[in-house]
Structure 1
């Protein structure tokens, strides 16, 4: 199917996890002015030129005759499913960030790794092996420990309605991202099984998916939240940062999806939680507690199992 070294998917996913941390930071700031849908649209809209440049550059380096790999109906079906689920997940995540009980939402969104295993088994007949299952358990426990630090303080400050909203958005985020991962992998396999390079497929799929996402979210914004569209262009620097980082992350994730089962990719991608935590710790200059050191260790162990 491709002649890439085995470690390529690991490097791609680690880069994706790191750049996604940057994207989330920029997108979270945008959500305050543009709203959840607007912040998600900005991430895809401003990322579209970067996705196009990436696809053209990779296409030129491969020297292929056709500008696009051969596609079929099943490819488009799974790509659209993945793209829309991805966009909905982004909106749910932005909504979670504004719900008032972010820690609850983040913790529940980490159930994504379990939901991916279910979707992949049903849709792709890719049941996780023993190593993957163990990695899921370790990574999920570690992410929950990190995400729920200080839970008592936040729970006291949050109303019952806020906690219910956070619970809904958290589980919905995980479900959407899980379905997106499986949809993207299914679409990618339609092309890599025909002999196309995984990197070439990833770049073109990201471009096409972001086109679908811009069209879908753009129509929604014009119909329902037209006033918020201006904020996307007013905060263009922040939107540009979110777009660039988001595209870089998407290409990395997609390379992982076409080279490895989606469950393994997302388990390794849980190191994003560690990246986010370490960045916040560095900025605050605080020393990690025992609970947090244990959580980081669990996530790292889970990531190692996913690579086996």
Structure 2
């Protein structure tokens, strides 16, 4: 279990299939979707602009929702709607163990690194679809999905044209483990499985560095934008401050927007943030 193991892995993605159409508008058609990635079937929701393609595309990596409560495509609706209206195919992935996706009993014990695989194979599946321009695919993640963004950029540099992280988790996996796993009695089983594999952060700091994307920031080749509110009650803004500092230390360009007084969902400033995100992605795609 390490970022290096993900780097060394071979990825296959394809067989993007559309299911029931629901939620379509005059600007785009929306479908239940599945794709195959590294032997698993991952479900999601896809918006396809009306008109002639191929279109640029965005993979959307959502934040944490209890897998027992999560339903297909229930999050990031505003991002999907806005971007599809701007002419992007948007594929919101459910991740393994969510909704109708394949089950992975090791996901929690492996620090959910499999979610990164799901984002990577989603892009590969989109590249094979005739409605998508294979050279113009971006990645957006929020909260936990922001961690998926960091991981995907270091694991498969060059796959995405640009990436955006909204109110992201820490790029140091120890921070996330301490806040949501080790400190949560309901997740004591997952914490025990993780510690059995790689030890505690205090006893095995090298092992924990090996599962933290920050350790591998030198591999990033894509432009990255980060949005964070100063009043975020879930992911402290200090985490993004530290991530930005680490990116700059690694010599990687990062565009960082701070939103005074905004909480985790950045409701009041979300329209500004998505306009900034779309312009950033469009510029990177050329």
TM-score range, shorter chain: under 0.3
Please tell me whether Structure 1 or Structure 2 has the larger radius of gyration of its CA atoms: 1
The structure with the largest helix share of the pair is 1
**RCO (CA 8 Å, sep 6+): is it higher in 1 or 2?**
1
TM-score by length of 1: 0.24
The structure with the largest strand share of the pair is 2
TM-score by length of 2: 0.25
